[in-house]
Amino acid sequence: MPAASDPLVRINNLSFAYHERLILDGTSFSVPRGKVTALMGASGGGKTTLLRLIGGQIRGQSGQVLFDGQDIGAMDQTALYAARRRMGMLFQFGALFADLSVFDNVAFPLREHTTLPESLIRDIVLMKLQAVGLRGARDLMPSEVSGGMARRIALARAIALDPELVMYDEPFSGLDPISLGTSAHLIRQLNDTMGLTSIFVSHELEQTFGIADHVVILANGRVATEGTPQHVRESTDPLVYQYVHAQTDGPVRFHYPAPDMAQDFGAQTAP
């Protein structure tokens, strides 16, 4: 059995490609148990793909994704579903069921995966909604709530089964400053009060560095650097420095590769 000090998630020499496009190329890192880990890096670098690999939605071509010491990629359907019941997922923009009320959205995983009586489900749902500040919105429909509220409802749904691991796909995207700050505070607070392990994908440097214990920067299919937010800020790696300091040019070029200027704009030969 894994020790309490062992990482809850370990990525070992993992490679993954969409057809001919290589996304991850021998990537390795660990997610500390009980901590908040941020996955960062340029768009298209494999961050959301890693969440899908950890959840078993897709499987790598080589390497391992270990969840509590067990290889997700080697699990059969029964074992994978059992592992997923120990995980919660906050999808980008919430992904609420449009035809279900706020209450029924949060109750959905409880009704799907347990045999609890409705009276107990009611109490659990209201407690989870209270944790995200939305117990009073229980009877509203998704179309009646704001984008920030939808994320918080989706978070209540993600923690309905008291998971050990919660994954967040860009939880700050498209939020106003108040909602963004609220979401960041909730990730940190719920992680600590519920004893969770959290992984989130983000491009928001200030909020991410404010709540993360561990930061992983992905680039070119591998880990460019990882460590505490302070360690990442002080990195001298050119790519990490460009990302952290939001420089327009560097290892990630501003200009997409193109023919020489003279070739495109030089004098044309008259016919």
pLDDT at 3 over 80: no
Q: How far apart (Å, rounded) are the C-alpha atoms in residues 68 and 164?
A: 10
Write down the pLDDT at residue 271. Answer: 53
pLDDT digits (tens, 9 = 90+) for 110-144: 998 889 999 999 999 999 999 888 899 999 999 89
> Token match 């995200």: residue?
132
Q: How far apart (Å, rounded) are the C-alpha atoms in residues 139 and 20?
A: 47
pLDDT digits (tens, 9 = 90+) for 220-230: 888 888 899 99
pLDDT digits (tens, 9 = 90+) for 101-117: 999 999 999 998 889 99
Where are the chain's structural domains?
Answer: 32-46+82-252
Write down the pLDDT at residue 224. Answer: 87
pLDDT at 269 over 70: no
Helix (H, G, I), strand (E, B) or coil at 63: strand
Write down the pLDDT at residue 89. Answer: 86
Find the farthest-apart pair of alpha carbons in the chain and give their distance in angstroms, rounded.
84
Q: How far apart (Å, rounded) are the C-alpha atoms in residues 180 and 203?
A: 12
Average pLDDT, the chain: 86
For residue 198, name the pLDDT band (cuts at 50, 70, 90).
Answer: very high
Q: How far apart (Å, rounded) are the C-alpha atoms in residues 183 and 126?
A: 19
Q: What is the pTM of this model?
A: 0.82
Q: How far apart (Å, rounded) are the C-alpha atoms in residues 246 and 254?
A: 12
Report residue 144 as tokens. Answer: 């009646």
Report residue 235 as tokens. Answer: 């990195």
pLDDT at 215 over 90: yes
Q: Which CATH class, in words, describes the domain spanning 32-46+82-252?
A: alpha beta
Write down the pLDDT at residue 120. Answer: 93
Helix (H, G, I), strand (E, B) or coil at 138: coil
**Cα→Cα distances 186→30, 113, 149, 151, 168, Å:** 23, 25, 12, 11, 12
